[in-house]
């Protein structure tokens, strides 16, 4: 667990971070977002011990990063935006070098590296020079070095920057698999990636916390209610009447999507999306009205982010 309390960082007269506080829970993937210059990288550098704060505290598994730096840093694996790779080393030489830096015991080293190399899928390039690897493989090697020492917490800064779509999907899958055994802070400007991976998000703007919550709850607060688009085949008037009786539904507006195939489209506003979807599914099954599509119409993370950071009000924590 990471606990950040009233963190402040000043550079001369400029306050880069202005008293932010949040926690990262065990086994959680936390998206850490903000526009350029918001203080994201500064905050991550303070959490990892690369920078000291002007005031405030960072505790990693109960250890203060300033008072007990060795114990705190031992629990953290860090992938900066530009991975600290040495192009004239092979992957094997580099990871053994990282083991030396992290004081990994030699008798434990081989098994650890075998597990890491298999996990991040770099076995086929293990003996190749890092300088000859593709961008995707270099990112994997960067993640591998963050895993050396078996840290309980991973901090990933722009892990998919510069990758092609296939490489992004590969790294996303890797991060999802790592989240089973690690707490993860991930910062990225690719908000669709955060939406796929994160359990919660922290959005900072101008050095302050602008929002902390799950993506679904932030979307709900932005739109006021959750919205569902339901497309099905069945009688429009009877369906609307029965759907409006479902608990949690605030309103339901229908239209004929395709008269030839009797396809009806209903836009539903509800207080609880998950429970409402279950109730709608059960109703449609009982009545024998086949569902063709049921999807959320809530604002995306990108829309939430733009609303919060544009200075136009938007969502409040």
Q: Mean of the pLDDT values across residues 275-285?
A: 90
Q: Mean of the pLDDT values across residues 274-281?
A: 86
Place of tokens 């840290």: 151
Look over the chain and give the mean of its residue pLDDT values, rounded to a whole number. 89
Q: Mean of the pLDDT values across residues 71-89?
A: 92
Q: What pLDDT was estimated at residue 144? A: 94
Between residues 58 and 316, which one has the greater pLDDT?
58
> In which band, very low, low, confident or very high, does the pLDDT at 104 lie, cut at 50, 70 and 90?
very high
User: What is the percent of the chain with per-residue pLDDT over 90, rounded to a whole number?
Assistant: 53
Q: What pLDDT was estimated at residue 223? A: 65
Say if residue 52's pLDDT is above 80: yes
Is 78 strand, coil or helix? strand
Residue range 61-70, pLDDT digits in tens: 999 999 999 9
In what helix (H) or strand (E) does residue 250 lie, and over which residues does it extend?
A: strand 249-258
For the chain, the domains span 2-219, 223-296
Say if residue 296's pLDDT is above 90: no
Q: Mean of the pLDDT values across residues 1-30?
A: 93
Is 172 strand, coil or helix? helix
* Short-list 159, 3, 14, CA closest to 81: 159
> In which band, very low, low, confident or very high, does the pLDDT at 99 lie, cut at 50, 70 and 90?
very high
Place of tokens 């770099």: 122
Q: Contact at 8 Å (CB) between 100 and 158? A: no
Q: Contact at 8 Å (CB) between 54 and 8? A: yes
Q: What pLDDT was estimated at residue 135? A: 87
Q: How far is CA 118 from the centre of its chain?
A: 23
Helices 135-147, 91-101: axis angle to 10 degrees equals: 30
Say if residue 317's pLDDT is above 50: no
Q: What pLDDT was estimated at residue 220? A: 73
CATH number of 223-296: 3.30.70.3100
> In which band, very low, low, confident or very high, does the pLDDT at 316 lie, cut at 50, 70 and 90?
very low
DSSP 300: P
Residue range 150-189, pLDDT digits in tens: 999 999 998 887 788 888 888 888 888 888 889 999 998 8
Torsion of CA 287, 289, 295, 298, to 10 degrees: -50
Q: Mean of the pLDDT values across residues 189-204?
A: 90
Provide the terminal-to-terminal Cα distance of the chain, rounded to the nearest Å.
21
Q: Mean of the pLDDT values across residues 95-113?
A: 93
Q: Mean of the pLDDT values across residues 7-21?
A: 93
CATH number of 2-219: 3.40.50.300
Q: What pLDDT was estimated at residue 37? A: 86
Handedness of CA 122, 125, 129, 131 (dihedral sign): negative
Q: What pLDDT was estimated at residue 165? A: 86
Residue range 284-293, pLDDT digits in tens: 999 999 999 9
Say if residue 93's pLDDT is above 50: yes
Residue range 217-261, pLDDT digits in tens: 887 777 667 788 999 998 888 999 999 998 888 888 888 877 766
């Amino acid at each position: 667990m990471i606990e950040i309390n009233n963190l402040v960082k000043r550079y001369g007269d400029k306050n880069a971070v202005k008293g932010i506080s949040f926690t990262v829970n065990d086994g959680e993937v936390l998206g850490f977002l903000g526009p350029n210059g918001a203080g994201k990288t500064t905050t991550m550098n303070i959490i990892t011990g690369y920078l000291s704060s002007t005031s405030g505290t960072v505790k990693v598994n109960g250890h203060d990063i300033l008072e007990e730096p060795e114990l705190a840093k031992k629990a953290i694996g860090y992938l900066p935006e530009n991975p600290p790779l040495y192009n004239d080393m092979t992957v094997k030489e580099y990871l053994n070098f990282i083991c030396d830096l992290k004081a990994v015991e030699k008798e434990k080293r081989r098994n650890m590296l075998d597990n890491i190399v298999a996990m991040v899928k770099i076995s086929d390039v293990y003996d190749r020079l890092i300088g000859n690897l593709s961008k995707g493989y270099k990112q994997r090697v960067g993640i591998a070095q963050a895993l050396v020492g078996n840290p309980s917490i991973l901090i990933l800064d722009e892990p998919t920057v510069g990758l092609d779509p296939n490489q992004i999907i590969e790294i996303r899958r890797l991060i999802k698999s790592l989240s089973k055994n690690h707490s993860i802070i991930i910062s990225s400007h690719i908000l669709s990636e955060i939406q796929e991976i994160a359990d919660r998000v922290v959005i900072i703007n101008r050095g302050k916390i602008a929002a902390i919550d799950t993506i679904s709850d932030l979307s709900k607060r932005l739109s006021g209610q959750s919205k569902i688009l339901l497309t099905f085949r069945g009688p429009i008037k009877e369906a609307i009447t029965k759907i409006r009786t479902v608990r949690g539904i605030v309103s339901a507006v229908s239209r004929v999507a395709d008269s030839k195939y009797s396809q009806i489209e209903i836009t539903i506003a509800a207080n609880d999306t998950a429970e409402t979807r279950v109730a709608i599914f059960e109703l449609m099954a009982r009545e024998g009205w086949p569902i063709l599509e049921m999807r959320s119409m809530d604002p995306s993370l990108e829309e939430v982010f733009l609303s919060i950071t544009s200075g136009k009000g938007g969502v409040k924590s």
